[in-house]
Structure 1
Amino acid sequence: MTELLAVAPDERGLRAALETVRFQSGVDGGRWRLVDLDWPIGIFAVSAAARPNSPSEYGLRIDLSGYPQRPPTATPWDLGLNASLAADRRPKGPRAGHVFRTNWEHGQALYAPWDGRGLNAHSEWAQDHPADAWHAERDIAFFLGRVHELVNADDYSGI
């Protein structure tokens, strides 16, 4: 019990979210998985629809500081190289390409209302996109689910 109390509230919140049915059903369904957690950074993999010459999953390096009050910020991640995902290896398609763009924040965040940097840069997104915007009642499964939806949509074209 003392060990649990030594863990900061944001880390405790994330670790609790990783145990929820919502997160675990994504893991069990092959939609995402936790690769590594070295607080406050989590490395996750999100499965993608099969497309020619494209990966079966994409990595995300997510800064979870302040979780869930502060929105997570994800950097597209090369799981093999343990480095930022190269521009030519990022998901393409009208929506996925827009979110995984490299010409915003130097490609170090997702251009989306569920990503901390996107939401902080565009405070109007919370009101304009309430179904997609991060707020403190959201969890990591919501974040990963939005990414999973993008890379499994009909308009996702692979890399």
Structure 2
Amino acid sequence: MDPDERALVDDLESIRFLAASDRGYWRLVARDNTLVTFELAARTGRQLGVRLDCAGYPAVPPTSQLWSVEADQPLPVAEWPTGGRASQVFNPNWSQRYGGAFYYPYDRRALEGHGGWANDHTGHVWTVDTTVVDALYLLREILRSATGPAPKELAAGEAS
């Protein structure tokens, strides 16, 4: 196992990660080397997939995208969370130009060209001491601010 994968696995086996998982904050869906897929709960009750590419971890921040766990492919834009901070972070006008990357300081693609973020977002800028658990907690917070879309079952029931 190479060092970046070993560091990632260590963090995925940490008490902090496992305790939050036990609380239902997120679920590890799959891991292939440093490519990891999780499900997180949005405030709407909907479970959303997130895929993180952690190549170079922990020295290099991951890049992430919303993911359809069922289809094992990027989540269609029409299903992206909206409202609150989610509308800023999951901005299709920006994200689609950068492989679905999140517009926030824990994403390596977003950090390119945003040198000022280190000063503007001191608590949320990736450092070698930041872990995938920190990224998941921030994503959870962002998803908890989302107001839509509703879970598929609920939305389907309202349409009938």
Q: Same fold (TM over 0.5)?
A: yes
TM-score, reference length from structure 2: 0.87
Residue aligning to 1:123: 115
**What is the identity, as a one-letter code, of the residue corresponding to 2:60?**
R
Matched residues in 2 for 1:132 and 1:82: separation?
28
TM-score, reference length from structure 1: 0.88
Residue aligning to 1:86: 76
Matched residues in 1 for 2:129 and 2:61: separation?
11
Matched residues in 2 for 1:68 and 1:157: separation?
32
1:76 to 66, 69, 86: 66
**What is the identity, as a one-letter code, of the residue corresponding to 2:50?**
L
- The residue correspondences of 1:27-38 to structure 2 (distance < 5 A) are 27-38=21-32
Residue aligning to 2:93: 103
Matched residues in 1 for 2:66 and 2:113: separation?
18
Residue 113, structure 1, aligned to residue 101, structure 2: no
Residue aligning to 1:4: none
Residue aligning to 2:43: 49
1:62 aligns to what SS in structure 2? strand
1:110 deviates by: 0.3
**What is the identity, as a one-letter code, of the residue corresponding to 1:119?**
L
Residue aligning to 1:3: none
1:120 deviates by: 2.2
Residue aligning to 1:39: 33
For structure 2, the residue ranges without an aligned partner over 5 or more in a row are 150-160
Q: Which has the higher helix share?
A: 2
Taking only the aligned residue pairs, the percentage that are identical comes to 36
118-127 vs 131-140, greater mean Cα deviation: 118-127
Matched residues in 2 for 1:82 and 1:123: separation?
33
Residue aligning to 2:139: 147
2:137 aligns to what SS in structure 1? helix
Matched residues in 1 for 2:95 and 2:80: separation?
15
**What is the identity, as a one-letter code, of the residue corresponding to 1:48?**
A
12-21 vs 113-122, greater mean Cα deviation: 113-122
What's the CA shift string for 1:79-128, capped at 9, x where partnerless?
11111111110110131011011111416100001111111231221121
1:158 deviates by: 1.6
Number of aligned residues = 147
